[in-house]
Every structure is written in structure tokens, then in C-alpha cells.
Structure 1
Amino acid sequence: MKLSSRPAWTCANCLRQQQRLSRRCLVTASTAQGAAAPATLQHPTFRPISKAAPSILHDDRTLRQVFDSPDFWKDFSAKRKHHYGGRSAGLLQNRYLTRPEGFQDFANITLQKCAKIVGNVLSYNSIEELGRVAKDLDRLSDLLCRVIDLSDFIRSVHPDRKVQIAATQAYTAMFEYMNVLNTTTGLNDQLKRAADIPEIYNAWSEEERTVAAILIKDFSKSAIDLPDVDRQAFVDISNEIAQVGTDFVDNIAAEQSTLSFESSRLKGMDPVFVRQLTRWGSVSLPTVGMPATVALRTVEDAEIRREIYMANRTSSKENLHRLETLLRRRAELANLSGYDSFAHMTLTDKMAKSPEAVTSFLDALALDNAPRLKDENVELLDIKKGDARANGFPAGLNAWDRDYYATQLMSSMRSKARTPDFLSAYFSLGTVMQGLSRLFHRLYGIRLVPREPLPGETWNADVRRLDVIDDHEGHIAVIYCDLFERQGKSPNPAHFTLRCSRRIEEEEMREAAQISSQMGSIFETAQEAANDGLATSFNPRDGNALYQLPTIALICDFALAPQNSSGRRPTLLTYRELTTLFHEMGHALHSICGRTALQNVAGTRCATDFAELPSVLMENFASAPEVLALYARHWETDAPLDAERIKERVEIDRRMQGAETESQILLGMLDQKYHSNLPLAWTENGTGVESTRVYQDVWAKYCAVHEPPGTSWQGFFGHLFGYGATYYSYLFDRAIAGKIWRDVFQRTAGGAVDPAAGNLYREEVIRHGGGRDGWHCVAGVLKDGSGVLAEGGQGAMETVGKWGVHV
């Protein structure tokens, strides 16, 4: 089976960082997003905290301390270690992973389970047997993802080289097996056969029908229906796309790497910074990166800014050639698969459905954004008119003017507000985690409860484990929080789901009982063996059926406060870090509450243009006054934060929102143009002329400020590889999130902590994971009676565009 990258969408900050990796296993949506869940241990007995426990206040206080006090955490995390006498419970409580060699055992046993399922599916013939195909293939996907997602995660975060190598070997073995499944046409044939029988299809649940549709579509995208010659061509083109795309991202560079100036010509730029770039009396300024960005924001000489701007937005010809090859090959691949364009092929299973609908959305959004953008540009032009140094240029904004005058505007606003450090004192990490738990409890009846890790359970001593407890359902998820910086760790924030929600069937329990009897030294019960030792619970929403619990890892890179004579201060978050944590917890919430019976539609495994909705919406809660009242208190005095101070900061951040929205619209439009059928007419050995013409045309049509001829910024647009034809998704989800925030959580005073609003959102949106059409989710939570949203398509996309990006 094919393992295709599908990076999860990110907020505006995260778009500047390649952060999350999502994968499809068995040509199915398997987001590599998190860690594994601990199972009901029998040695010693593990009992999830009762949903009726009287210790809520104790858990609440403990939650703050485990993140704010290293000494408290050290004592807390040591409580259960004596039970094991030095024995490992296994990474993430996976019983196979008590030693590096366990990865091979884990992979081998999983491969045996997979082979049995494949054999069964290929032999099915009766109505009763074929009725099991959707569930069986979903379990096959789950088994693959259990190894692939966990191994991929562990090899990237574990410090032990032996563990990294073992995890990589397990990952590779499962990946190779998936390639074998990709060529097993009988699986596709049996699935289609079952779906075409009305008696079977009508008996399937909505989730089974959705999963079957996903699998059939993904098999189709893998060219499994094509003749052998065309299928080989498909594989060859796909491999070339992967290689060229990687080369494109890895070789992003400007045509001219540096510019030389006399230091006197960089007046306005920080002199200390300038001296660092000065050699032999001349400043050598890199044209890409922080130095160029700082120069464009601060250098007074407009002619110098123009020269820097041109170099900063002119890509190397070699990389433009790679980009054009990538886009042309994608267009060829789509044609080979029977689609008009790569965008048509990519969008068939997204909410947008077609590139025409995406364009309608972006056009409507641009129209809504135009008045705000015009006001911003008028304000910047007024500042320029008052600048005596601007006399050498026409009385209009140039492309190299916007950053410079926007910086002046923002600086004047910041000088009237308190420093960002003032806010950080109210956002200790423990306080924020406590606030998130309190918010979730009020809205959704779930809370975060610290749990002592077992020996060998985590990959680093700083990783905190939280159990998610539902007031009515009990233990529903596990989160591993790896939030502190350390050497060698990726600085990018990320959410990983290493095991999804899924119902464990009776047949699996019989299989698990056999494994338990054969491997009693590893598993003491069939329930343990059924989920490799990871957490399970009985789901009252599904007749008390046994479920494997979603297990999540949150990765951030927050700085540990230095030790001093009075002890260590807690980690204090900036406002940007605060919103990042809320964003990632929005993804986690989707995984936690999306407890579906089938893993292909669990949690964040949904359409790409729907995946960021919960995380983007969650950002709004960080600064809501009623939510701030739950957690924002000074780390030393415990005094509450005045909500007006946050309001000032939010206003600064949103001051140039029109320009930011315009920028994202331009990129979305360019993405759609590049993934149309236009590249089919481009020459094989192009040097960027064709793609530059498209880039310049888009900017000429949609950009309020003229882009100078000669630039070719498209060669820096690395997201064209990872988010080809779906770049609009960020704006799309932000528009929907803004509408839900206003109409659901801000309709009444205190709505951000209103249980009724939380229940509506949970039941209509996040509970379904990817098992319900995204448009039906949006229509349900907004109580839309027009039918336009529920119908989806171009009309619904245009409607969302008209909502605009507002909060």
C-alpha cells in the first residue's frame, strides 16, 4: 500500500515551520500524530481515575505543580517506580518495547496479524463475509499504523541510538509490506464488490460507508485500476515527484545570496546587527533570512530597501527548474489517473471538491477583505507622506515600503502598551495547563489528570503523562506532554496521534486470548494483548464495547527557567507561545473526543481542509476574558491578570490582519493556478519563465500593491510540495472557526465557558472525527437551516468566503 504524505494544517505561525507529519496507512488516513496509550496494567493493578472521584481539586492543584515545579515532578514521577524493581513497562506502555529488539517482535507479530486479515478478505464470498470487508480493512490499516506511526515518532524523539535504529527497522519493514498491499488488486476488488451489493451497503453504518469510500478513492489514487504499463508509469512519476519535491524544498535559495553596502547606507538598522555583518568596512547582507527581514523593516533608504526586496524575492533559476518539473509531473500524474488536473485529483475528497469551488471561496474572501486592506494601506501611505526621506519616490506605496511603514505603525502601538514580559508573568506553563483542564471541564465535562509514568514508559524524564477523564465515560484518552526544550530536539510545535480510537471486536479478543496464553510473561490478560498493552476502556456510548484509547503526544520547545538561589522559576510563556499551546491542544481535543468505532475516521483523520478547524478555533479561547479568569494569575503573587492587557496585545497582533489575509489569498490562488493543467504546456528544460509569468499574473490581479517586474518569489514557496492544491485550507478553516466563535461561543455573555455551547460543538463537530461530512458538521453547529452549507459544493465555499476572516 502507498504511504502518502498529508501534512496537517497549521496556524499562521506554524506555516513558517514544517511541523506535523501525517500519513496514510493502507492508503488510508493515518496521521502520524501522537503516542500510544497505556493499558490496564495488572502489575501493579492500574485503575483509571474514577469519573466520580472526589479528588478533582487535588488533581487540579497537582496539574499545575507537575509543570511548574521540577522538584514536585521528580517526586511525583518516582511514586510507581518501586513496583517494577527496575523492569521496563515498555515505551508508551507497549509491552513489546521494553528493549530495542522489541520493535522487531512488534513488527513481526503485527505482520502475522495482517497476513491473516488479507487472506480472509481475499477468500470472502458470501454476503455475510463480504459485509465484514470495511471493518477488516480498517483493522488492517490500524495494525499498520500502530507500528508505523509509533516507530516513526519514537525514532525522531528518542535519545538512544539503538532505539532509533530498531524503530527505523520496524518502520521500514511495515512500509515495505504496505507497498506489497498496494499491488494486491484483490483487496480493492473485494471492497468494491461489497460496496456494490445494496444488501451489504445499506447494512453498513455511516462510519463503515465513509471508510469504504475513503479506501476506494485512495486505491484509485494509487492507480490500482490502471493497466500494468500505466500503473508502472504512475509509480515512476510518483517516485520522481517525491524526489524532485524534496530537492525543491531542500534547495530553496535566492539567485543572489548576498548584497554589499557601505554601512552608512543601512541607517535605521540596529548598529550592533550591522557591525556583525561588516567585514573590511563593507556590509555583506544575506538576501534571505532574518538579516534581510530586519533590513526591510528598518532601513531608512528606500532605494536600498528596493534592492534588498528584489533580491529577497528572486529565486535561483535551478530551483525554479525543480519547481516547474514538480508541477509538470503532477499534472501528468493527474492526467494518467483520469483527472483534468492535479487540483481536481487532490480535491475530490476534500470539503472543497473542486478547484473552481476553491477559487469561488478565495474570490469572496478577497472581496470581504478589500475594505480592511484599503484602510490599512491608506494608513501606511499617510505615514509615508509624513516621512521626509520618501521624497524620491511617488506618493504611493511600493512593495518595499509596506514592511517598513508597518513596523513604524506597530512600534507606535507597542510603545503605548506594556511590554510582552509583563504578560508572561501570568502564563506559567502549569497555570496554563490548569486553565486548559478547567476550560475543557466546563465546556465538555472532561479534565486532564496527571499520572505517574511507569519505568521505561517515556522517552525522556521531562515528559509528563496526563489521563483524560470524562465525567460520564471515565478514562477516554492519554496525552504525553513533551513541552520543554532540550539539545537536539526539534523546535517545531506538533501534535501526534500514535494510536487512534477504535472498537475492539470479539474476534480480536479471541485472537488476543491466544496471544496472551502464548506470551503470558508479556501480557497477563487478553484485554492487554488486544491493544499491545496500551490503554483500553469500555465505551458507554457504544453499548459498553471495548475501545482502544486515543493516545497523543504534544511537542513544544518552551524554555526552562534558569536555577537561582531561591530555586527555579516556572517556565513562563509568551503570548505567542500561549496561543501555540492552545492551538496544539485544539488538535488534541479533536483526537480525544473523536472516539469513533473505526480508526480511519478517528479524531484528526478527516479532510485536509477540515483538520485545522478545532485548532484554529481553540486559539480564540486563549484571550477570551472569561477563559483568562480561569487561569491567568501571576506566578508569584497569584494576582489575576487584567483582561484589558491581553486585549491591547490582541489588537496589536491583528492590526495588519488585512495584509496578512491578502498574502494568504495570493498564495492560495497561486497554488491553484500551479496545480491546474497549465504546466502540461511548459517545456521540459524551463528556467522559471513559465512559473514566473503565472506568479506575476496572480499578483497583478489580486495584490493591492504592485509587485515589481523581475521577481520570482515562487521558488521560495516550499509549501507547494507538502500542501499542493490545498494551501487555501488555512484561510478556509480560519473563516469557519471565526464564524463558530462568534455565533456559538460569543453569542451570549460568558459564552466561551458555556456548557451548552461546548456540548453543541462537541456533538456536532469534534465527536465525529472524520466520520461525518464536514459540511454537515458546520451546518449542525451553526444550526443552518438554509441547506446551502449542508449541500456543500461551490455555493457553500462562496458562503464561507463571504464570512471573511474575523474574530
Structure 2
Amino acid sequence: MFKRLIPRPWVCTRCLQRQLPRQIRGNHAQAAAPRVLEGQDNASFAVTIAQRHVNTIAPGAQHDDRTLRQIFDSPAFWKEYSQSSKSGRNTGLFQNRYLTEPKGFEQFANTTLEKAKRIVKKVLTASAPEQYKQVVRDLDRLSDLLCRVIDLSDFVRATHPDPRIQQAATQAYAMMFEYMNVLNTTTGLAKQLDVAIRLFEGTGAWEEQEQMVAEILKKDFAKSAIDLPRGDRERFVSLSQEISEVGPEFVDYMAPEKEYLTFPSSRMKGMDPLLVRRLTQWGQVSLPTTGGPASAALRSVEDESVRQEIFMASRTSSKTTVSRLEELLRKRAQLATLSRFGSYAAMTLEDKMAKTPESVNGFLQELSKDNSSFVQSEVLHLLKAKAIHISTADPTLKPWDKEYYMSRILASAQSRTRNSDFLSSYFSLGRVMQGLSRLFSRLYGIRFIPHETLPGETWNPDVRRLDVVSETDGHVAVLYCDLFSRPGKSPNPAHFTLRCSRLISNSEIEEAAASPSQLFTSPSEAANDGMAISPATAEGVMQLPTIALICDFATNGSQHLHKPSLLSFSEVATLFHEMGHAIHSILGRTNFQNVSGTRCATDFAELPSVLMEHFAADPDVLSLFATHYETDQPLPYRMVAEKLALDKKFEGSDTENQILLSMLDQAYHSSLPLDSNFDTTKVYHDLQHKHGILPPDPPGTSWQGFFGHLFGYGGTYYSYLFDRVLAKRVWQEVFRSGMKGGAVTRENGELFKGEVLRFGGSRDPWTCLSNVLRDERLEGGGEKAMGLVGSWGIEGRREGREGTQSKL
């Protein structure tokens, strides 16, 4: 049951693509199609956007708004502002009073474990109706206690620079993980939940959130094989443990069959000479087959035979890697069979919006059919470029040609537009953070207020703390922003929920008062380990969401203290995307942590973040903050429109790749791995030939060994494509595609918040969509609803393409 509590930060494929070098990622950015105002031509469009830029700050918030920009844009200001965190008594990481030193993690885990065991005993001994009525709340609190240690420890062990603290966090994580394995064999918990459901389901005694949590817990128990005979149950735990070991091994140790290729430097013509020189010794270039240099070579080397050799090596994973992948898939299939499911995908999708693999595959096939015409057009464009380059009338497009000719076409188009570095001058990090706060103030009535950190509160001096404050509810969340690049830091952007929203009841506060500790100044503080809580109400206090946002934005170094960190448009979209996850965690203020914020169906969780990418490209939103960092002149929107048009040139090819990978994920998590002749390479190549327009990978390659998302997203990789369609529909229907100020209108924001964000995972996502889109056809979901969403994807893409062509 409690396996689901192991956290996974939201690191989507789009975010990862944006971390590639700018030359690679330029043609992959996802954003709304540029638009002009009604009755305007392109010549006057940029001027109009500039004229619309006004002071958007509410008078009472001017100081906080100005400070928000300064703490991110001015190193000198930040140095002075952050002095309070450098002296005084250590308050502990995230103000968790246990975590003032490494050994505090053990105390934190042990104390939490004692509380968890008391709850387990309470649930197992429940016998009276009033005791059974509390079972769902007790089990949710048990989940919360485990997550308090696991979520936080997992983040710290991956992020904190001190090896001692990393080790202590790892040990705390392991302690709670071991206890979860014990819970997975404790059949009495599931039986007691069943009794509670029989007594109170449908009686009105449980509120909507409580009812949803009961259903989630029941499904989780079923997936954990809790009702199987003891031998099968032990086999389930054993298989789960083996999967948890082989999965990370597959991801962490994936490797190519050949690590290096050697070429005479004379054959690398077209590649950046400085990069070639760094890789050359005695006239020979030693090229790593994976990573930046190999990608750069595929985009730039003129010699087709060299590109072919690099392509083959970069798409061929080692036999050991493929073997690990196939072992992972085989064990997952066995786990599903043991749990009485037809496949691992069927088991995974049962509580998702799609429900079944058949619905997912139908959705993907419809998208593939619609996308094929766009890819065919792009292939013709590539063939034309190749014909001109090699002076032949009838060229053939090879797999190793795609990146090379895409790069040439994009370079030619970009040379006719303004330099992207000039665009970034309007996107200082502080201004973008200001813009997000101003946008959320307009849509949802919340804003970001900078808050001085206390000694020991953060894991690095560069981390900024923001308090999220609501017009109606006061302090609603804490947001830690670790946004600047530094040595040893992961380049992948991510959103972490370190602590979920949850109601801490008066009985829990009384329990804390009965065991006073010198670490805390009050029982309420003790009930949340010292971390952020709301003011007390008649029912108790709210455990406020505590969130960490991680990005990897370049700084300008100490020699340019006057110059802020300037973001590319793709990095702006990345920050908006991650903030979409954060706003879901912030506004999904539920009384139960199991359904708080992003703890919803995986194929619904990307909707708020993908939707935010549309806002990042909207003229009204950009007018809230996008000014030149030196002159304060507003951004001419034409520059953004040109950038978006360039990014869309090969969107169909990128979409085809994502569709194929989503289909591959479904095939790998079907019953196929149980076949003794299962061959992951053959499955991948067959899908490329059947559904792809672009040249398929040649025989001998095995790229699937580099598809690390197969472990983290097993059976749900389609989610991003699915939520892209949903986000497009919400953008059109709720926010009116930004027309007439639709992207900054409170009425529209309140509709989305009230019908989607505030529920987190506590309401059926199909009901949320049905209500927010005012479309009864979605109620209840099912294959028909999935088909309807598929049709939106077709309409949405056609509208986006035709709109872009006609307006630019």
C-alpha cells in the first residue's frame, strides 16, 4: 500500500529537453501560438504591446514586489538581505527543529516512527463505530508521517552539499522505507479499512475528500496484493524490492556499447573548431558517443559517413543496459500477474484518467494520424535542404541527416531574426519572478513575499525563501527557490513537495502537548516539527505546503555584480512550467495529504504546468514584467512571435518522437515481457516502422536502453501528450486563448482554481474537467471521453498551425 508514498519530483520530458544546449533545444520549445489583437496587423503589434505595459502593482504590495525583483537580480542587495541567515541559533533545515545537525535525522525518523506505530496500533484495535469513523483520517496521518521523513530526506540526500547530512538523510530514508515494507504485509490495516468503508461509505458521515482518500487507500491495498495468500504476498514484496533495485540500476548505469569513436580531425569539418581542438590529440579526435559533443557533431559535421557512425554508436546501448531493462520489464509483468492484472500498464492505469491501456493506445493512434501530415511536410523540407546541399535531384533522408539539416534550416531562419541574446535582455530572473507573482495575484489572489531565512534553514546560501500569501486566507505556503547554477548541482529543473497540505487536528496538538519537548515553543509547532503552519482555527491548524523549486540558470559571475541573470525564452517557459506544479501544490489545500496538490492522477498532474507555458507566451502576461534590464523599456512582442514561429518549424517531428516513446512505454508494460522471445529492440523498431514517418533507427541500434523514463513513468509516459491537449483546451475555453485580457482576468482564474486546482487529487479529474470546461460529455471519463480529448488534440494542433501561418 505505502509504496505509492515514495516521492518522485516532477521532472517532465519538456523540462529535460530545455536543458540541452540552446542550439539543440531551440526547435523544441512548447508554447502557445503567437497572436495579434483583433483589427491589428503585425507592423503595429509590437508597439501596442509596449503601450499596454503599465504599473501593475497594488499599492500595499509595492515594497514586497520591488524586493522580490531585487533579491533575484541584485547580488549586492541579496548579500545584504541574507545577513540574518548567517548568525544566531540554528533553526534546522526548513525550520524543522530536528534537523540542526546530521544526527538530528535519526532522531526525526525515530520520533516519527514511534508516532506511526501508535497509529497502526490504534487502527488495528478499532472496534466501535466512532473508532472506525476515524480510520481514514488515521491512515492518512500515517501516510503523512512516512512522507514527512521520506520526502524531505530524499530531497536532502540528493541536494545538500554536506556529505554527512547526505548520509544521515539516506539512513533516515532507509529506516522509513524498511517500515513501509512491514506495513505492506500488515493485512489487518486493509481489513479494518474495509470494515470502515462498509460502515460509512455513502452515509454522508465522510466528507468528499475523506471518501476519495478511502477509495485511494483501498485501491492501493489491492495493488499491494494485501488480500493474496501469504506465499504470494511474500513474493509480491520480494518482486517489489527487486524492481526497486534493478530500476535505479538501469537508470544510473545505462551506457553505450562504444564509449568513444576516433576520427582524423580533418573529417570533422563543420563542427565548432574550438570543440574539435579540445577533443583532439595527435591529429585524432576522440569523441564520446553520448552527450553534448556527439549531439553537436550530428548537427554540424559535413561528412555524412562520420555522422552515420556517430548516429549508430549514440543510438546503441550496451548489452548489459538492455539486459537490465528487460529484467525490469519482466519483473513488472510478473508483479502485475501476481496482482491479478492483465499487465503492468493495466495495473498502473486503473486509477488514472485513461483507466485502460486500450484507451491510451487509441488516444496515441489518433494523435499519430493527425500528426503524420505535419511530419511529412517537415520531411519534404529536410529533403529539399539536402538536395540543395549535395546537388542532387532525388535525395534520400537518412536517420543521421535529420539533426544536421534541421540545424541548417534553423540557422538560416535565425539569421534573419534578431539575436536571441537580445530577447533575454527583457527576462532578468527577478523580473520573471515579479511577473509570476503579479500574474497569480490577478488570477488567484495570491502573491509572493520575500522572507529572510534563518540560520540553517536552507541547504545553500543562494536559496531564496518566499512566503505565499492569499488575499483571503493569509499565509498559505512556503516556497524555497534554488534557481542558480553552481558546480555539482543537477541541471534538471524540478518541483519537490517537501511537506503537503493537511489539517493537523486539535487531538494531534493535544498529543504533542502531552509529550513536551524543548525543541519547540508550542504544541502546535511540535505537531508539525517546527515547520510552517496556519493560525489556529476551531478544528486545528493547517500544515502548510512547503515546496522547493530547482532550476539551473546561469549567473554572470562576481565580476558583473551589476548584471542580473538573464533567461532565454525557453528558460522563462521552464520556470513558468515548474511554477505551474507549485501553484497546484499551493492552491490544492486539502485536509488530507493523500490528495494534496500534485498528489492526483499522473495523467492529470501535468495540466497546470503545461497550461502555464501558454501564459508564458501571452502578450498581456509578458506586459506585466518583461522590460529591458538596463533601459526598463517594454518588450516588443514581435520578437517573441518570431521566436515562437522558429520553434514550431519541426514541432511535428518532436511530437512523432513523443508519440512513439509513449507507444513504446505501453508495449513494454503489456504482457509481452512474459514471452520467452521478448526482444525490446524488435518492439521499438517495429513501432517506428508502423507508426513513424521519419527514417527509423537502422538494424543494430538499441536506443531503448537510454530511455530512463521507463522506470519512473512505467505505463504513464503518455501523460505529457495527454495533458498538452487538455491544457490547450483549458487555455481556449477558460482563458479565451488570452484574447481581450483573458489570461489576466480574475473571473477566469477563479474558475480554474475553484474547479481544478483547489481539489488537488480529492475529486475525480474528469469531474473537474467537465465542470471547468462546462462539458457534460466528460463526466465519468471512459473510452468515449478519451476519444473526445483525442479529437481536441487534432483540432487544437490544426488551429495552432494555421493560426501561426496566417498571423506571422
Q: Same fold (TM over 0.5)?
A: yes
Distance 1:169 1:328 in 2: 30
Give 1:63's aligned residue: 68
Give 1:418's aligned residue: 418
State the Cα distance separating 1:59 from its structure 2 match: 0.9
What's the TM-score, normalizing by structure 2?
0.89
Give secondary structure in 2 for the equivalent of 1:731: helix
Give secondary structure in 1 for the equivalent of 2:491: coil
Listed as ranges, the matches of 1:317-336 within 5 Å are 317-336=319-338
What count of residue pairs does the alignment treat as equivalent?
A: 757
State the Cα distance separating 1:646 from its structure 2 match: 1.2
Distance 1:743 1:151 in 2: 41
Give secondary structure in 1 for the equivalent of 2:623: helix
Give 1:46's aligned residue: none
Q: Is the 8 A contact 2:7 2:151 kept in 1?
A: no
Q: Which residue identity does 1:526 align to in structure 2?
A: P
State the Cα distance separating 1:389 from its structure 2 match: 5.0
Note the alpha carbon deviations across 1:158-184, whole angstroms, 9 max, x for none. 333333333333323222222222221
Change (3 A) 1:271 1:458: closer
Give 1:598's aligned residue: 592
Note the alpha carbon deviations across 1:638-694, whole angstroms, 9 max, x for none. 1111111111112212221100000000001111111111111125xxxxx722221
Give 1:713's aligned residue: 703
Give secondary structure in 2 for the equivalent of 1:477: strand
Give 2:569's aligned residue: 575
Residue 622 (structure 1) aligned with residue 625 (structure 2): no
Note the alpha carbon deviations across 1:298-344, whole angstroms, 9 max, x for none. 22233333333233223322322222222122111111110111111
State the Cα distance separating 1:490 from its structure 2 match: 2.1
Q: Is the 8 A contact 1:8 1:608 kept in 2?
A: no
Residue 529 (structure 1) aligned with residue 551 (structure 2): no
Change (3 A) 1:309 1:793: same
Give 1:22's aligned residue: none
Change (3 A) 1:661 1:80: closer
Residue 7 (structure 1) aligned with residue 8 (structure 2): yes
Note the alpha carbon deviations across 1:496-525, whole angstroms, 9 max, x for none. 11111111212112112223xx22x33222
Give 2:273's aligned residue: 271
Q: Which residue identity does 2:449 align to in structure 1?
A: V
Q: Which residue identity does 2:765 align to in structure 1?
A: G
Distance 1:227 1:646 in 2: 61
Give secondary structure in 1 for the equivalent of 2:118: helix
State the Cα distance separating 1:68 from its structure 2 match: 1.3
Residue 762 (structure 1) aligned with residue 767 (structure 2): no
- What percent of counterpart residues are identical? 57
Q: Which moved more, 1:332-341 or 1:382-391?
A: 382-391
Distance 1:57 1:572 in 2: 23
The one of 348, 354, 360 aligned to 2:350: 348
Distance 2:160 2:272 in 1: 40
Q: Which moved more, 1:575-584 or 1:262-271?
A: 262-271
Distance 1:507 1:148 in 2: 24
State the Cα distance separating 1:64 from its structure 2 match: 0.8
Listed as ranges, the matches of 1:457-536 within 5 Å are 457-515=457-515, 518-519=516-517, 521-536=518-533
The one of 517, 538, 545 aligned to 1:550: 545
Q: Is the 8 A contact 1:302 1:390 kept in 2?
A: no
Q: Is the 8 A contact 1:8 1:611 kept in 2?
A: no
Q: Is the 8 A contact 2:257 2:317 kept in 1?
A: yes
Q: Is the 8 A contact 2:11 2:493 kept in 1?
A: no
Distance 1:589 1:401 in 2: 41
Give 2:198's aligned residue: 196
Q: Is the 8 A contact 1:296 1:305 kept in 2?
A: yes
* RMSD between superposed Cα atoms in Å: 2.4
Q: Is the 8 A contact 1:593 1:603 kept in 2?
A: yes
Q: Is the 8 A contact 2:156 2:166 kept in 1?
A: yes
Give 2:445's aligned residue: 445
Distance 1:98 1:12 in 2: 36
Listed as ranges, the matches of 1:43-442 within 5 Å are 55-78=60-83, 86-198=88-200, 202-389=204-391, 395-442=395-442
State the Cα distance separating 1:232 from its structure 2 match: 1.9
Note the alpha carbon deviations across 1:767-789, whole angstroms, 9 max, x for none. 1111111111222221113x2x2
Q: Which residue identity does 1:435 align to in structure 2?
A: G
Give secondary structure in 2 for the equivalent of 1:407: helix
Unmatched 5+ residue regions in structure 2?
A: 21-56, 801-808
Give 2:692's aligned residue: 703
Give secondary structure in 2 for the equivalent of 1:695: helix
Listed as ranges, the matches of 1:667-682 within 5 Å are 667-682=661-676
Give 1:33's aligned residue: none
Q: Is the 8 A contact 2:375 2:694 kept in 1?
A: no
The one of 767, 774, 779 aligned to 2:765: 774
Kindly indicate which of the two structures has a greater share of residues assigned to helix: 2
Distance 1:91 1:244 in 2: 32
State the Cα distance separating 1:8 from its structure 2 match: 4.8
Q: Which residue identity does 1:430 align to in structure 2?
A: G
Q: Which residue identity does 2:354 align to in structure 1?
A: A
Give secondary structure in 2 for the equivalent of 1:536: coil
Q: Is the 8 A contact 1:252 1:716 kept in 2?
A: yes
Q: Which residue identity does 2:542 align to in structure 1?
A: Y
State the Cα distance separating 1:96 from its structure 2 match: 2.5
Change (3 A) 1:717 1:639: same
Distance 1:573 1:18 in 2: 12
State the Cα distance separating 1:200 from its structure 2 match: 6.9
Q: Which moved more, 1:182-191 or 1:238-247?
A: 238-247
Change (3 A) 1:304 1:607: same
Note the alpha carbon deviations across 1:219-262, whole angstroms, 9 max, x for none. 22222211121122222222222332233223323333333434
Distance 2:536 2:566 in 1: 38
Change (3 A) 1:624 1:456: same
Residue 740 (structure 1) aligned with residue 755 (structure 2): no
Give secondary structure in 2 for the equivalent of 1:253: coil
Change (3 A) 1:570 1:182: same
Q: Which moved more, 1:68-77 or 1:425-434?
A: 68-77
Note the alpha carbon deviations across 1:273-299, whole angstroms, 9 max, x for none. 333333443434333222322222222
Distance 1:146 1:242 in 2: 21
Give secondary structure in 1 for the equivalent of 2:148: helix
Unmatched 5+ residue regions in structure 1?
A: 20-51, 684-688
The one of 632, 652, 672 aligned to 1:638: 632
State the Cα distance separating 1:569 from its structure 2 match: 1.4
Note the alpha carbon deviations across 1:737-786, whole angstroms, 9 max, x for none. 1121122223432211111111111111111111111111222221113x
Q: Is the 8 A contact 1:121 1:190 kept in 2?
A: yes
Change (3 A) 1:563 1:254: closer
Distance 1:384 1:466 in 2: 52
Distance 2:636 2:321 in 1: 50
Q: Which residue identity does 2:555 align to in structure 1?
A: L
